[in-house]
Chain A
Amino acid sequence: MELYELTIHELHDRLKRKEVSSVEATRALLARIEATDPKVNAFITVTADEALTAAQEADKRIAAGEMDVLTGIPVALKDIFLTRGVRTTCGSKILAGFVPPYDATSWERLRERGAVLVGKLNQDEFAMGSSCESSAFGSTKNPWDLACIPGGSSGGSAAAIAARQATATLGTDTGGSIRQPASHCGCVGLKPTYGRVSRYGVIAYASSLDQVGPVTRDVRDAAIMLGAVAGHDPKDSTSVDRPVPDYTRSLVPDVKGLKVGLPREYHIPGLDPDVKQAMDAAIATYRQLGAEFVDISLPHTDYAVATYYLIATAEASSNLARYDGVRFGHRSAEAGGLVDMYNKSRAEGFGAEVKRRIMLGTYALSSGYYDAYYLKAQKVRTLIMHDFLKAFETVDVILTPVAPTPPFRIGEKVNDPLQMYLSDIFTIPVNLAGTCAVSVPTGLSQSGLPIGLQLIGRPFGEESIIKAAYAFEQATEWHKKKADI
């Protein structure tokens, strides 16, 4: 195995045994990025010099016996995480030259444990998209098939894992933006319960839905990364003050007697036959392992996409008001007066998808429409949450596909935003309910593209989905398949 292909725990073992240094591992990944990224475009910024300095520091810590599981591990972050002194663009032209003065809490926590940052990853602009095509820095390509999308919005976070350009990455998930790209690139992606991980220093899209989580090569790495970033942060008033369990203790391949819910509303007409087949095979595997299946109903599923696109765009229109050309970001050189400066700076700095969502959200919040759209959506959100809470009275986890189809081709859906939005049908309800879910590789389509299954847990039920995901992973070989790049 090449150094760049190792998981966190495999590399940690080698670092601990002094078989390899962090500098060597970091060099291997930087060389891999240089060799593959001209094709994949997973990175917006590569931090080679900073990474080698950090790796030297990590090696000193290791030599001194002050080692954590993340010490010396090369990681990369979606370009939505503020990194002090390292350009952070959020995939947007409006932040093309922005260098943050402080770190996001989740990055600070990884950094303090000695993780090494190799670069910042491509994404849909302001995390708005399902394909990584709305980035101002060009589309990321799926390492399994360069003509296909890697998924989005954390497309770079998943593509970098599939292309073996980073040992682990962080993404964010507002409507599926960790799970869907993880599914499309054959990785593990975990979206924690809302409030589990601090959002401080994460550029805001829809504040009541955004959540930070890992994209990794296997379930063990996801448990390690989640444990490192989770926990209360006084700087995020919505982060929940509740103890963080040792998630690696849930890595027990035992699902005997586990009650798994299968929601009948997820049998949609547009479900791809390859996805259906992969799900049937996954159900058979779980049965063999001793899990029990229960048919359940999540009756408001069909309303989730409409609810999401009102709530998320309304919150986005408010959050993105800060890009006014005054304190940071692009300022138009053409501007006459103050209002003209706002209008032109925003017109020049934002891309089409971001403008469309700001417009939709502004409309949904505007005088005369607030009750009909935004308030209505918040009420339907209550119904969707109750669907899940009721289901969890009888089941431990819920099993669904992550996406209705394997990765689609670049350009296929760019001119039809509504079709693009509908591809998030299985992931969006989880964000609205605020609960947790994980995407795990569960097969390949006939054309050899990855397919993922989704395990949804109770609020703060990360341990149960990690356990169920680990049992499946250990019983199958899908996570060992590699993109040919």
Chain B
Amino acid sequence: MKITRADVEHVAKLARLELTDEEAATFTGQMDAILAYVDKLNELDTSAIVPTAHAVPMENAFRDDVATDSIGIDNALANAPSRVEGFFRVPKVIE
């Protein structure tokens, strides 16, 4: 086994994803099969290989530090599930 039910529950917590018992059981089996499959990468010696993060090599893309128009508060809040005045409303953070 590459992965156990406890691993799946730990990862779900990191991903902020509440899983049902059924989902946790299904994902344990499926992730185990997928991780067993990706293990084939270990057949390759990559000790001298540089990792690739992006296919097209590029430096930082800077622009001039000039303020431009933004979408504005009303647009930014238009899709908010809950808002109050000019703010997003969220449940109490500190108990």
Contacts and interface: CB of A to CB of B under 8 A. Distances in A.
Interface in B67-95: 71, 75-76, 78-82, 88, 90-93, 95
Mostly, the B contact residues are: loop
A6 B7 CA distance: 54
B62 to A, nearest CB: 9
B34 interface: yes
Interface size band for B: 35 or more
B1 interface: no
A360 B34 contact: yes
A46 interface: no
Given A317-B15, A327-B79, A359-B11, A238 B51 contact: no
A436 B26 CA distance: 36
A369 B40 CA distance: 15
B17 A208 contact: no
A243 interface: no
Nearest to B17: A346
B23 interface: yes
Nearest to B23: A355
B67 to A, nearest CB: 14
A377 B17 contact: no
B23 to A, nearest CB: 7
- Residue of A302, A321, A324, A347 contacting most chain B CB atoms (<10 Å): A347
Contact of A339 (B16, B30, B31, B52): B16
A459 B55 CA distance: 9
B49 A383 contact: yes
Contact of A363 (B11, B50, B90): B11
A380 interface: yes
B6 interface: no
A240 B57 CA distance: 10
Nearest to A303: B41
Interface in B35-69: 35, 37-38, 40-44, 46, 49-56, 58, 60-61, 63
Mostly, the A contact residues are: helix
A383 B44 CA distance: 10
A331 B37 CA distance: 36
Nearest to A382: B52
B40 A359 contact: no
A306 B38 contact: yes
B71 A102 contact: yes
Contacts of A338: 90-93
A387 B80 CA distance: 47
A435 interface: yes
A380 B18 contact: no
29 contacts: A101-B71, A101-B79, A102-B71, A195-B56, A195-B58, A208-B53, A240-B58, A305-B37, A306-B37, A309-B34, A309-B38, A327-B88, A328-B81, A330-B81, A338-B90, A343-B17, A347-B17, A347-B18, A355-B17, A355-B19, A356-B31, A358-B15, A358-B17, A359-B12, A362-B11, A363-B35, A377-B38, A385-B55, A434-B54
Interface of B: 3, 7-8, 11-12, 14-19, 23, 26-27, 30-31, 33-35, 37-38, 40-44, 46, 49-56, 58, 60-61, 63, 71, 75-76, 78-82, 88, 90-93, 95
Given A360-B34, A382-B50, 15 more contacts: A101-B76, A234-B63, A238-B58, A321-B16, A342-B16, A355-B23, A356-B30, A356-B31, A359-B31, A363-B11, A363-B31, A373-B38, A383-B46, A417-B30, A418-B30
